[in-house]
Amino acid sequence: MLRNELSQKTLHDRLQAGKTIKKGCKLRALSPILKDGVIRVGGRVSQANLPRATNNLVILHPDNFTTLLVRHSHQMSLHFGVDHLLSSLKTKFCI
């Protein structure tokens, strides 16, 4: 993780307190929101007429859980290629 990036806990705390995200943070472009205790993509996409799971994707933090999720999805998709794996994950998560 880069030094100017916020940790997941810090980001969660800032969003919960209603504070803005610092300008140097790459996640700021995603306009993150806190919904049901989960950090999700916000912004104009939340106004789209799409299912909730699609218009507010979960933002995954690069950690062990994300690695396990990607490995599990790869195995469940019968080891299809990278493009297939990414497209299936991007329907639910912002990677």
* Three-state DSSP class for residue 39: strand
Contact indicator for 68, 85 with CB cutoff of 8 Å: no
pLDDT band at 68 (very low <50, low <70, confident <90, very high): very high
The answer to whether residue 1 scores a pLDDT higher than 90 is: no
pTM of the model: 0.75
The DSSP 8-state label assigned to residue 94 in this structure reads E
d(CA 86, CA 95): 8
Least Cα distance to 69 among 42, 41, 50, 94 occurs for 94
Give the position of tokens 């810090």. Answer: 10
Average pLDDT score over residue span 67-95: 91
Q: What is the pLDDT of residues 4-44, one digit of tens each?
A: 456 778 888 999 999 888 888 888 888 999 988 889 988 88
